[in-house]
Amino acid sequence: MHLKLISSCVLSLSLIGCSQLTQQPQSKHQSTPPTDKKTTPHSHANGVQIIPYQVPEIKRESIPVKNHSVPLQPAVTPDGSEKPVFRQLIQQARQALQQNHLTQAEHLALQAQRISPQAAQSYVILAQIAQKQRNYNHAEALLQRGLSLANDNATKKQLWLIRLQIAQTQHNQNAIQQAKRALQQF
């Protein structure tokens, strides 16, 4: 019995409280009439008109933007050969090649090539490995690709020197003359 009485009292109090919320007076800011400033509607191509509100509480001020100059970064080669990981792999591949660890050198050069596929240095090492393995056709293909990507004279010279060595090994006089002419430019 007491439970019914308590629940009915709570229900009636909550209904009275809710009805009071809807009858609160509107705030002063909402009832203020717009100012006498004319608002100009902005029309867009899709037919939508935007009419800005003229509320006196909103102050429209232009704020000067400070120009923070960005420091210039050093020139980055587009082939990716400046990446520290690439440089480290190339150095390790050269060391492995000098110690005649051809499999390890090839693995490191291929990793470097995956990191920077446009860098010609990995093709130099891969061509040297193919030359040592007496796989001259593969070495020639690697040299051609390296020459097409090389953007500095030192790398081009290395590639042409390898080409000359292969041509001399194969006793190919035309290729020897071609390599010597190319090397004269450097």
68: pLDDT strictly greater than 60: yes
The pLDDT tens digits for 17-63 are: 655 555 555 544 444 444 445 556 666 667 787 777 677 776 767 77
The pLDDT tens digits for 102-149 are: 999 999 999 999 999 999 999 999 999 999 999 999 999 999 999 999
92 CB-near residues (< 8 Å, 6+ apart): 108
Q: Are 44 and 50 in contact (CB under 8 A)?
A: yes
Whole-angstrom distance, CA of residue 156 vs CA of residue 185: 10
Q: What is the pLDDT of residue 79?
A: 73
Burial class of residue 29, CB neighbours in 10 A (0-12, 13-18, 19+): exposed
| Amino acid sitting at position 135 | N
pTM greater than the 0.85 cutoff? no
